[in-house]
Every structure is written in structure tokens, then in C-alpha cells.
Amino acid sequence: MSEILVRKPRDYAKERKAAIEASVDRTVALREDRDTGALGDEVIKMAQALILCTLPYRPTAERQVVRSARLSDGSTLRVTFTAGINGIDMAFGNDRHLMAWLFDKAINSDTAFVTIKSASDYLRETGKSRNGDRVKELAARLSRLTGLVIGIERRGAGSTQTVMLPMIASSNLPSNLTVQLRAENSGQRSIPGMENPFGIQLEERFFQDIKKHHVAIPRRLWMQLQGQKGGPQLTDLLTFFVYRCYCAQSETVIPWAGLREQFPQDDSNPRRFKVSVKKAIVQLRVVWPEIRIDIVKEGVWVDRAMQPLLPDDPTKKRIRRLSALNQ
């Protein structure tokens, strides 16, 4: 008589506890590396405008999205995202990770052209498997980013600076990314019959803007944020608070209304936004104990940290600025 296998029910509470403990361990490890100085060995350079004003978190039928943020010196930054190619949806969610990685590649190599070989590196460097689903996902993300048009407006007391341009000036992407990545692994530079290398060309003015206005985030911290529970919103909040507390020159309160305008509010329960803010602050205090940030009735209070997350290093262009406009 054959035995009947009974599937043991999953213990979701135990799994959740284990996930939280693992996250705490990773955060503590970041703190230890920060104390020894190792955390600053590798950084990813993120576009300032896209830290302050973020992409939608979920797929959207909207063709244009506007975000705005108030900077530490009282000036205003407004970013308009437009899906500029018919039939290609607005970038959203974790497209922001690929976008940040592409920008960092371009800045570090000092060239506005990023090859598809670099996109292959993205899967490896971010610890993502190169199975069929991952490659299809990467191809879809690249497609959405190629159609993204970004308008940046920086409005100060005496002037207004604007730039409106496509993020990517041109692209040459293979119809089958899986075939292309397989060809590269065998040492073949491009598919036979194609003269130009596969890749994307950042619009030159946009490239110069992100070279001038970017923020250095520890690469290991950025990597950890991608995989943690809380999704893109928690990632955006943590990244923003790192930036905001790093460049703070005096105490100020970021009002709740301002934060809600800055970050997408597509959750049916608005109270969850405050929960995400609290989680972000708790995690940051572990990695950066000198940080001066707290939740108050009016919003989020921030002040100049007694010690920066990463030490100032002019050779790596890591210096606190009086104004976010001058970074």
C-alpha cells in the first residue's frame, strides 16, 4: 500500500521572522564595514534629480508623471517623466535600479554610451540569474527606458534652470536579447550583419547634467535595498534620507505634504506611507548612528549629522555641499 504524502503547511510567521533576522544581520554587517571604512570603497553614483523625484512604483497607463521636491536651500526641483514612444509604457518600479546602474556605468567610464555587454554585467553585478525570465525582464526594462523623456526644472530665488530632453538619445537593441548575451559569452561582439555595437547612447546634455548633479551611495547599501521587503518606495525613502541628511546644514522639517508630493502615492492605505518612513529611519540609524533624523507631528525632522555616512573625499568627489543645486 503506497504512502500518501502530506504536504506540511508553511509557517509564514517563522519565515517572516527569519527574513527580518537576515535583514538585520545584513544591516549590521553594513554598519561594521562603515566603521572600518570599507563601506566607502565602492559607491554607485545616482542622479540627484531621480533621488528627489521618483518614477511610479507600479505599471501605469499615464503617459506623463510630474514630481516635485523642495531642496535644503528653499529652492524647488520639479521633474516631469514622459513616455515618449508610442506603444512603449512609462518606466516604473525596479526600472529605477537598471537606470541608476546605467548612469553609474556612464559616469565612471566618462562616456555616454553603454553597451549591451554592460547590461549583461548588470545581471551578474546585481546577483540576478541569467535565466530566460530575467533576460526578458531586462529587455522590457531597457525598452521602457529608451522611451523615457525627462524634464528637469530647478527654480531658485533669482533664476529658473530648465532642461527637457530624452534620457536616451538613441539605442540599438537586439530583437532577441537572449541570443545576443549568448553570443557575447562566446566572444562574438555582435550578431552577424549588424555593423553598429548594441547599446544605448545617453543624451549628451542629460549625461552632463547627471555628471554634475549626482549623489554617491555605498554600492553594498544600494544592492541590499534592491532585495529587501518594502519594495521601491522603501528603497527611495532610504536613498533620499541618506542624501538629505548628508547635505543638511541646519535643522529643518520636511512636511508630510511635501513627502507625499515627492513620492508616488498609489497605496490604497495612506497610513502605510508613514510606516515605510519609520522603517527607513530605523534601518538608517543602525548603519549610520550619528544621523540626526526623526518623525515629528509635522513631518520628518532632519539636521546635520555629527559625522557623514561616508568620509568626505575630494579625490572621489564626495564633499558636503551647502546647496543641492551645486552638487
What 3-state DSSP class applies to 89? coil
Within a domain: 1: no
Please say whether the beta carbons of 244 and 55 come within 8 A: no
Residues 325, 209, 51, 69: is their CA dihedral positive or negative?
positive
Nine-digit cell at 210?
A: 547627471
Within a domain: 9: no
Instruction: Give the residue from 83, 82, 92 showing the smallest Cα distance to 58.
Output: 92
β-pair partners for 80: 66, 151
Q: What is the pLDDT of residues 102-135, one digit of tens each?
A: 888 888 889 999 887 656 677 887 777 777 778 8
Structure confidence at residue 326 (pLDDT)? 33
Structure confidence at residue 320 (pLDDT)? 46
Could you list the residue range(s) of the whole structural domain that residue 322 is in? Answer: 16-326
Global pTM reads 0.74
β-pair partners for 303: 292
Instruction: Give the residue from 38, 93, 55 showing the smallest Cα distance to 226.
Output: 93
Q: What is the pLDDT of residues 266-300, one digit of tens each?
A: 766 778 889 989 989 998 888 888 899 999 999 99
Q: Please give the tally of structural domains in the chain.
A: 1
Structure confidence at residue 24 (pLDDT)? 56
Within a domain: 302: yes
